[in-house]
A = this chain, B = another copy of it.
Amino acid sequence: MKTKCCDTHLSEEEAQELLSQNGISRTKIKTSILLLLSKSKKPLSASEIYQKYGPKNCDISTIWRTLKQFHEKGITREINLGEDFFRYELKDTQDEKDHHHHHVRCRNCGDIKQLEECDLSAFEKMFSRLGFKKMEHYLEFTGICSKCP
């Protein structure tokens, strides 16, 4: 089984190029965060990045500001995996086709509608063959609704 669909291991030069393309200063910290995200096999939390980069080398507030900036520029995706904090992952440069639930939320006005179920039991059967138990899944759609710009 393929466990990662998009391996985006950035080189230091590519990371710096990505910063420049988005009008962000090429600092050591920002470059390092990009590299950490690109090397990680799972989305990272701010405190994980803080631990990996070294608490002596940088303040946690800088990590937060950087993650917020990356998110605003669309470089990363901010996701919650059922924990009480967010994780961050690099987006592929291509079209974004990730994310999924049985809700539609307007990212502008916050309106949320519940949807009918989507049958993903076939996936769950695959997981049970891999030894997983008590599978659950979560599907969410987000977008900008017709009332919003």
Report A77-121 residues with CB < 8 Å from chain B CB. Answer: 78-82, 84, 86, 96-107, 112-121
How many Å lie between the Cα of A113 and that of B41 in the bound state? 7
How many Å lie between the Cα of A54 and that of B106 in the bound state? 27
Number of A residues with CB within 8 Å of any CB on chain B: 56
Whether A98 touches B132, Cβ cut-off 8 Å, given contacts A5-B116, A42-B114, A80-B82, is: no
Question: Helix, strand, loop or mixed for chain A's interface?
Answer: loop
The residue among A84, A96, A131, A142 with the most chain B CB atoms within 10 A of its own CB is A142
Using CB atoms and an 8 Å cutoff, list the residues of chain A in contact with chain B: 2-5, 41-43, 78-82, 84, 86, 96-107, 112-121, 123-124, 127, 130-146
